[in-house]
Chain A
Amino acid sequence: DAGITQSPRHKVTETGTPVTLRCHQTENHRYMYWYRQDPGHGLRLIHYSYGVKDTDKGEVSDGYSVSRSKTEDFLLTLESATSSQTSVYFCATSGTAISSNVRNIQYFGAGTRLSVL
């Protein structure tokens, strides 16, 4: 599995405060993704990156922004957190190796549990 570290693992914050979640990978994978997971639902894509400084919106991007200044780091920012953003956030990566199996598999971090009060 790709070495993916998410920080923090748990965070409690108040409505209206800014929050930044970090995803760090050691596999030199080109693609990185942020998902959220809510009870009773599968994962939903927030934003993804296809290279340094190249990002695009996913299914549920409203209220979130991302940045990728280095291959290894992908940051997710909630500019002004709301209670509806209470969720578990997962980062994933996928590579561009010659092997199509490696290229087409997303590897996931352990998640960040965020509570907005």
Chain B
Amino acid sequence: DAKTTQPPSMDCAEGRAANLPCNHSTISGNEYVYWYRQIHSQGPQYIIHGLKNNETNEMASLIITEDRKSSTLILPHATLRDTAVYYCIVRVGKDSNYQLIWGAGTKLIIKP
């Protein structure tokens, strides 16, 4: 069963920051939060992951609350090409031999 809850859809204006929320209230202490996205008809693409601390890379930032029960993915300057389904995922299992438990995702539409 999915361990994450996301809004089914969101809109964002081009050039603005897109903030995608995710609830994972049953997450265990050693389980990571991952974000992937899937552009229509393509394979999922990795974005970012984290455990406790906030993370940033060239694609996005991940903000995890102190109690780890929720997180937010931030796309700082959304473009039309960021229109996709974004999945918040919990990683279970030990390092290297793990499984990703996927939720239903948020369909993000970037509008001109």
Contacts from A to B (Cβ < 8 Å)? 4, 30-31, 40-45, 48, 50, 58-59, 90, 92, 94, 96, 100, 103-111
Q: A31-B96, A58-B99 are in contact. Are A111 and B49 (CB under 8 A)?
A: no
- The reply to whether B43 and A42 contact each other, CB–CB distance below 8 Å, is no
The total of Cβ contacts below 8 Å across the A-B interface reads 54
Q: Can you list 15 A-B contacts with CB-CB less than 8 angstroms, sorted by A residue number?
A: A31-B96, A31-B97, A41-B102, A41-B104, A43-B44, A43-B100, A43-B102, A45-B99, A45-B100, A50-B97, A92-B43, A92-B44, A104-B49, A110-B43, A111-B41
Q: Within the assembled complex, what's the spacing in Å between the Cα atoms of A107 and B98?
A: 14
- The reply to whether B96 and A105 contact each other, CB–CB distance below 8 Å, is no
- The reply to whether A42 and B103 contact each other, CB–CB distance below 8 Å, is yes
Residues of A with C-beta under 8 A to B43: 4, 90, 92, 108-111
Q: A31-B96, A50-B97, A96-B96 are in contact. Are A108 and B45 (CB under 8 A)?
A: yes
- How many residues on B have C-beta within 8 angstroms of the other chain's C-beta atoms? 22
- The reply to whether A40 and B99 contact each other, CB–CB distance below 8 Å, is no
Write the B73-107 contact mask toward A (1 if CB under 8 angstroms, else 0): 00000000000000101010001111110111100
The yes or no answer to B42 lying at the interface (CB within 8 A) is yes
Q: Within the assembled complex, what's the spacing in Å between the Cα atoms of A76 and B98?
A: 20
The yes or no answer to B17 lying at the interface (CB within 8 A) is no
Among B91, B99, B104, which residue has the most Cβ atoms of chain A within 10 A? Answer: B99
- The reply to whether A48 and B99 contact each other, CB–CB distance below 8 Å, is yes
Residues of B with C-beta under 8 A to A41: 102, 104
Residues of A with C-beta under 8 A to B99: 45, 48, 58-59
Shortest A117–chain B CB gap in Å is: 21
Q: Within the assembled complex, what's the spacing in Å between the Cα atoms of A109 and B44?
A: 8
Shortest A6–chain B CB gap in Å is: 9
Residues of B with C-beta under 8 A to A104: 32, 49, 91, 95-96, 98
Q: Within the assembled complex, what's the spacing in Å between the Cα atoms of A99 and B99?
A: 19
Shortest A41–chain B CB gap in Å is: 6
Among A40, A107, A108, which residue has the most Cβ atoms of chain B within 10 A? Answer: A108
- The reply to whether B2 and A42 contact each other, CB–CB distance below 8 Å, is yes
